[in-house]
Structure 1
Amino acid sequence: MEFYSETRLQNWIKKINETRVSEEDPITLMVFDQMLEDVIIACFNILNAVRRKEIKKADALKEIEKIKNIFNKNFEFNSELKEDLFSLTRESLRAVLASFEYFLEGKFSKKDMKELIKDAIESEKKGNLDMAFDIIARAGAKVIKGEKLPELDLPEDSEIIGWIDGIDAISTTLELSRIDVSQDSEE
């Protein structure tokens, strides 16, 4: 059972290189969000396979690690902007994958979401990015569990924004799947 493959990522790389990307036209940047959403869906498919007892948690964690390794390479793009945007998306993806790992391992924080984000910002201010990343990933595990990500007011120069974008993408994907399910049940 394959949840995400090198070929799938190469298809995204090809699509990114074929897409005209412009900072002035946010619609052209959607390919990066779509790639991130595709990985999140693959991660939810892994969770669903665990819930259906098709794979064990240990195997699910190996699948998450496999996705990390697929993205942990250098890729060629036909513009510097695309390279920068891919790099930012990969940072978001790091937080997403760590969140799914924590979820599978049952590592949830007892703190509320706002407190976690505040702690992550404080850790960043103190220069402890590893701790900030860990906190954001734990917040992501709570989002996967069903908690809502609160409205956030983050400093624009914050390095944790990309990680929070990944967690927000998990939340958005969950919401969209709920909408799809409710529409399917109405039909």
Structure 2
Amino acid sequence: MFYTEDRLNNWIERIKDEELDLESGKGLEVFDKMLDDYIIACLNLLKSIREREVTKKDALKFIEESKPLLDRSYDVGDDVKAELLEMTKENMKVVAKGLELTIAGKVSRKSFEKLLEDAIKKEKSGDLEGAFEDMAKMAAKALAGERLPEDLEIPDEDLFVIGWLDAIDAISTVHHLIEIDRTEVEDDLE
């Protein structure tokens, strides 16, 4: 199994127990860690495919089976927590769709900049589904190992796309940290 109900429920329990303070940002990291954990599961699934432990067909089936977990509502006992959880689940959906594209070998050749520009245009014209697809294409590029440009121009607007960009940034960061860990392990072995 790729991402289990138990794994998600552990995060729901941690969110319930977490004390939030929006002023100081205290407690917010649980949502980032939840997203990072999901990204790690995605990267591990890609690794399992590369190492021929899982077929692409089975991997896509695992992702499909886990989707209802992200569509379900969870009671975390607090409206602010509930809203932050919804945002985190939306980001997880972007990552999941990106994972499907990566597995299917449909990684876009468009630049991150162009995909972001397209997604913003689509959202502004009311095509939220199209905007989501473009963000998933960005996620696929990041999951495939492409680094998100540090000088990416992000408009200061209240758009879903800007929220979803957090998911792509998180993939890039997790990938980078894994590379650092791998390099350190290899250095230790020499």
Task: Give the TM-score category using the shorter length.
Answer: over 0.9
State the SS of the aligned residue for 1:139. helix
Contact 2:16/2:77, CA 8 A, preserved across alignment: yes
Q: Which residue of 2 aligns with 1:113?
A: 112
Query: Pairwise CA RMSD of aligned residues?
Result: 1.2
Query: Alpha-carbon deviation of 1:66?
Result: 2.3
Number of the residue aligned with 1:6: 5
Q: CA deviation at 1:99?
A: 0.4
Unaligned runs of 5+ in 2: none
The separation in 2 between residues aligned to 1:147 and 1:27, in whole angstroms, is: 31
Determine helix, strand or coil for the equivalent of 1:160. Answer: helix
TM-score, scaled to structure 2: 0.93
The SS at the match of 2:27 is: helix
For residues 109-148 of structure 1, give each alpha carbon's deviation from its aligned partner in whole angstroms, at most 9, with x where no partner exists: 2211111111111111111111111111111111112222
Residue number in structure 1 paired with 2:159? 158
Cα drift, residue 71 of structure 1: 2.1
After superposing on structure 2, the runs of 4+ consecutive aligned residues of structure 1 that deviate more than 2 Å are none
Counterpart of 2:53 in 1: which secondary structure? Answer: coil
Aligned-partner Cα distance in 2 for 1:154–1:148: 20
Whether 1:84 and 2:83 are equivalent positions in the alignment is: yes
Aligned to 1:21: 20
Q: Which residue is 2:33 aligned to? A: 34
- So what's the TM-score if we normalise by structure 1? 0.95
Question: What CA deviation, in whole Å up to 9, does each residue of 1:53-96 have, x standing for no partner?
Answer: 11110110111122222222110011111001001101111101
Query: Which aligned pairs between 1:39-50 and structure 2 lie closer than 5 A?
Result: 39-50=38-49
Identity rate, percent: 40
Alignment: residue pair count: 186
